């Protein structure tokens, strides 16, 4: 029928023939997309811990069949098979699990090409700002057949963030240095948040002014001199593990004590926030922002 239509149009002249071919192509394309949009992936492999957390938060957890070697949350993932991570994805293992959707990081181009060759669809993701986390959750909802739950989860996070914004509104925003990595017990190899990325966005919502606002980078390696000259009023250090009170905490604070002229050091405003959740750009950000806000504005 379609081709008959095209042929008939072709008989009417070249212009119409093109028209008919386009129409045909559109119909074919629509036909090929329709089932994909309806089908709901049942065997998802996630190589990105942040995406795994999102999948569980939007109710797609039972569809996840394998995760990366760095996945720790939610506790259910501990029972799942591991298939490598960012730099060492185990392609063979991934294919053998017969996934119908693989969550990859944007830079895993080789893996994405291999999946394409194997006919396995991928969901490519890159860390970006806080709004991107929420947009990704919504997108994942549509892709995995959990659009409503995703919208609900996103709305809940937005509500908590709005509550934090309201709580800190009008309060003085301290100049804050957000540290997320350094050599233990020294001030060497200091990595801090720059003026971009989810950590920066979280700090801004929590009512702090990032001292490295002007540097358009997610992570910045800074020297001691720069910290002294920027004089932060609060130093907020994110740590994966809890620092035990007593001697270990004293040693950590002693490293900062050398910078006596920094207001944060002088006024004992070197604060620690511990736990893996703080540095994962996933659905637990609302809780992390609340903790940051509590530290900055007790």
Partner 1 sequence: MNIRRRIFTVVSLFALATIAVVLWAPTVGSTSISLPRVFDTTIPWHENVDAQIFFVARLPRVLSGAIVGASLAAAGVVLQAMLRNPLATPFTLGVSAGGALGAMLAIAFGLEVGMMGVSSVPIASFTGSLVATAIVYWLASSRKRGLSTNVLLLAGVTLNSFFSALILFVQYMADFTQSLRALRWLMGDLDVGSYTPIIAALPFVVAAFGVFACLPRTLNLLTLGEDVAAARGVEVVRTQRLAFLSTSLATGAAVSLGGPIGFIGIVVPHLVRLMVGSDHRIVLPAAALFGAAFTVLCDLTARTIVAPLELPVGIITALIGGPFFLWLLVKKS
Beta bridge partners of 103: 46, 123
Q: How far is the CB of 95 from partner 1 (least distance, A)?
A: 22
x-marked contacts with partner 1 along 180-209 as a string, rule CB under 8 A: -x-xxxxxxx--------------------
Q: What is the contact mask toward partner 1 in residues 260 to 279, using x (rule: CB under 8 A)?
A: xx----x-------------
Contact 84/47 with Cβ under 8 angstroms?
A: yes
Taking the complex as a whole, how short is the minimal distance between the CB of residue 50 and partner 1, in angstroms?
13
Beta carbon nearer to partner 1, 222 or 286: 222
Residue 190 CB: number of other CB atoms within 10 A? 20
Q: Give the C-alpha distances (Å, rounded to integers) separating 289 from 35, 201, 202, 207, 214.
A: 40, 9, 6, 9, 21
Among 57, 222, 235, 264, binds partner 1 (CB under 8 A): 222
**Smallest distance from partner 1 to CB 277, Å:** 15
Q: Which of 7, 18, 34, 88 binds partner 1 (CB under 8 A)?
A: 88
Helices 147-168, 285-296: inter-axial angle, 10-degree rounding: 10
Angle between helix 147-168 and 130-144 (nearest 10): 160
DSSP one-letter string for 73-136: -SGGGGGS-B---SS---HHHHHHT--SEEEEETT-HHHHHHHHHTT--EEEE----HHHHHHH
Helices 147-168 & 198-205 angle (0-180, nearest 10): 50
Please report where in the chains the tokens 């800190």 appear, as a residue: 168
Q: Which stretch binds partner 1 (CB under 8 A): 12-20, 169-177, 227-235, 290-298?
A: 227-235
Q: Residues 233-262 vs partner 1: string with x where CB under 8 A?
A: ------------------x---x--xxxx-
Instruction: Find the part of the chain contacting partner 1 (CB under 8 A) among 76-84, 110-118, 223-231, 282-290.
Output: 223-231
Q: Of these, 112, 213, 226, 274, which contacts partner 1 (CB under 8 A)?
A: 226
CB of 78 to partner 1, least distance (A): 17
- Comparison of 95 and 228: residue with beta carbon closer to partner 1: 228
How long is the chain? 298
Rounded-to-integer distance, Cα 218 and Cα 221, Å:
10
Query: How many residues sit in the footprint of partner 1 (CB under 8 A)?
Result: 34
- Rounded to a whole number of angstroms, the minimum distance from the CB of residue 59 to partner 1 is 28
Query: Looking at 10, 23, 80, 86, which residue binds partner 1 (CB under 8 A)?
Result: 86
Binding residues for partner 1 restricted to 143-162, rule: CB under 8 A: none
d(CA 120, CA 138) in angstroms, rounded, equals: 22
Residues found near partner 1 in the complex (CB under 8 A): 70, 85-88, 181, 183-189, 212, 215, 217, 220-226, 228-231, 251, 255, 258-261, 266
């Amino acid at each position: 029928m379609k081709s008959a239509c095209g042929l008939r149009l072709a008989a009417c002249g070249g212009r119409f023939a093109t028209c008919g071919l386009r129409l045909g192509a559109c119909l074919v394309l629509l036909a090929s997309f329709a089932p994909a949009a309806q089908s709901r992936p049942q065997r998802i492999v996630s190589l990105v811990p942040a995406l795994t957390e999102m999948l569980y938060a939007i109710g797609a957890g039972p569809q996840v069949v394998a995760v990366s070697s760095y996945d720790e949350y939610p506790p259910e993932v501990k029972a799942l098979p591991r298939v490598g991570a960012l730099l060492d994805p185990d392609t063979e293992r991934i294919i053998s699990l017969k996934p119908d959707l693989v969550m990859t990081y944007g830079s895993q181009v080789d893996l994405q090409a291999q999946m394409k060759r194997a006919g396995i669809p991928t969901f490519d993701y890159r860390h970006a700002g806080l709004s991107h986390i929420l947009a990704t959750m919504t997108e994942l909802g549509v892709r995995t057949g959990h659009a409503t739950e995703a919208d609900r989860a996103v709305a809940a996070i937005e509500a908590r963030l709005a509550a934090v914004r309201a709580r800190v509104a009008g309060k003085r925003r301290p100049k804050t240095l957000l540290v997320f990595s350094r050599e233990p017990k020294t001030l060497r190899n200091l990595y801090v948040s720059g003026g971009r990325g989810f950590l920066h966005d979280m700090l801004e919502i929590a009512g702090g002014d990032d001292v490295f606002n002007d540097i358009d980078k997610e992570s910045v390696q800074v020297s001691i001199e720069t910290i002294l000259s920027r004089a932060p009023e609060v130093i907020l250090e994110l740590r994966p593990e809890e620092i035990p009170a007593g001697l270990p905490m004293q040693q950590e604070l002693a490293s900062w004590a050398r910078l006596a002229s920094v207001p944060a050091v002088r006024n004992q405003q070197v604060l620690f926030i511990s736990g893996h959740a703080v540095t994962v750009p996933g659905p637990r950000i609302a809780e992390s922002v609340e903790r940051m806000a509590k530290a900055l504005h007790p």
